[in-house]
Homo-oligomer: A and B are copies of this chain.
Amino acid sequence: MPNYYNEQTKFYVSVDCAIFGYSDGILKLLIHKRPYDPGKGDWSLIGGFVEKDESIDDAAKRVLTEFTGLDKVYMRQLGAFGEVNRDPGERVISITYFALIDVAKYKKGKAQHTAEWVDMNLLPELIFDHDRMVSQSLKKIQSLIWEEPIAANLLPKLFTLTQLQRVYEVVLGKELDKRNYRRNVQEQGFLVKTNKIDKKTSKRGAALFQVNPLLAIENS
């Protein structure tokens, strides 16, 4: 066979990103109104097509940067979605990623008029199989949150333990015992106490922590 590849079918391949954020004590998802048919105007995850000379991971990073202005963001692949008719417009195979970002750093990029942070508890129905992508992403984040220092990606660089506790609580969907949580999270060794004090959220002031810079997870 002279060139085996040539006989094969090619496919559009997209990346869809479930971008999670946190503000006001609420877990949010960045979604936007799809600007073209099919499904024009329907809510959709942030996505885009993989381009010729970029890896799928790079495509996901590029899309995320285009839509949020951020790079070096914590992002992981969830998996591939490849039902024949998942996109009724054309056959498109989607590789799904999830990301955790600090909403405060978010800058409107592409889709600036139609992108919104939506309360995860009030999520509208999403297009195609995007609902499944979101629920599977959240499950994976829940299973990773005690394994890797990912929760802090939803907060500014410096944060108090109480702020981080709220993040754990909204991600896991349940309240945590303050003392047990503090013991657990500190035993992990992800966090280092800075000598700075946050005076905004309490009169007494709370110690500000950051993720151990040696662990800088982010991408990769």
Contacts and interface: CB of A to CB of B under 8 A. Distances in A.
Interface in A165-205: none
A51 interface: yes
Contact of A11 (B36, B50, B77, B80): B50
Contacts of A84: 53-55
Nearest to A57: B82
Interface string A1-35: 10011001111110000000000000000000000
A134 interface: no
A55 B94 CA distance: 12
A1 B17 CA distance: 23
B93 A9 contact: no
A126 interface: no
Given A1-B36, A56-B93, A93-B56, A9 B77 contact: no
A10 B51 CA distance: 8
A103 B9 CA distance: 32
Contact of A80 (B9, B90, B95): B95
The 6 closest A-B pairs by CB, nearest first: A56-B82, A10-B10, A8-B49, A80-B80, A5-B90, A9-B52
Nearest to A94: B80
Contacts of A55: 82-84
B4 A50 contact: no
A79 interface: yes
